[in-house]
Amino acid sequence: MKKIISLIAAVLLIIGAICMSGCATYKGEYGDFVCEFFDTKNTVDINGLSEEGKKKKILVIPEEINGYKVDFIGKKVLTGTGKPDISSKNLEVIYFVNELKGRFGQQDCPNLKKAFQIKNTYPNIDIIWEFKLEKNRVYMMSNFFMSNYKGTEELYAANVSYFYNYADAPNDGYYWLDDLDDGEKITYIPENPTREGYLFGGWFKDKACTEVWDFETDTITKPADDYYENILYAKWNKKND
């Protein structure tokens, strides 16, 4: 009997330790996503899409949700239901703002065409295989691609780049990415960037910010036989003290 009690106690201790390190503090919908929040790690896993999220053609996987760092997408194998974690018939474009630790489970997004890795790092290979991307391509910042991965079939340099446009800006100066065909207008405009002590003043065609980018009329240049990077520069107005 004592051995049985000791065994049960040991099992309970193991379960308790696992829960302390990996059991969700609370679960629920937050915006476009179904989430599991972990207070012990101050992280959040995205385990599905809300009804609102399933309606959207474009989704942004943010760096944080409600102050928690986004860590994983999908349920872990041992806790999965066997159904696709990320399922959407409408999703066409997905942006990953930050590097994630990993992705679990299967994704069912038959109309997904493009994925973007905004951060200057190699994207987790699971993006390519689990999301079954058209042409199996993930788009990334051009300077990081040209320096490290030129010639890699699974990766491609995005041809639209948004720059913070100030010295020592994060992420090698890149704020956002996109990739469009020749003559197309930019239809998805990212949230405005932020900078301490400054107010964002719009997007411009030149570093000096003399010619504004007009999203209603300006179009993308994409030569048929060469790579061309369309650059938008942020303007900053210093806050009054």
What is the mean pLDDT, run by run of 10 residues, along the chain of 241 residues?
Answer: 51 43 73 90 89 95 91 63 73 86 67 86 59 66 65 77 97 95 96 97 98 98 86 96 66
pLDDT, tens digit (0-9, with 9 covering 90-100), for 157-174: 899 999 999 999 999 999
Question: Do 198 and 238 have their domain in common?
Answer: yes
Counting the structural domains of the chain, the total is 2
Query: Same domain, yes or no, for 186 and 198?
Result: yes
Query: In this structure, is residue 237 part of a structural domain?
Result: yes
Same domain, 86 and 201: no
pLDDT score of 239:
93
Of 158, 174, 193, the residue at which a domain comes to its end is 158
Same domain for 115 and 28, yes or no, is: yes
Domain, as residue range, for 121:
23-158
pTM exceeds cut of 0.95: no
* Per-residue pLDDT at 141: 81
Do 197 and 87 fall into the same domain?
Answer: no
Question: Is the dihedral angle over the CA atoms 210, 211, 213, 216 positive or is it negative?
Answer: positive
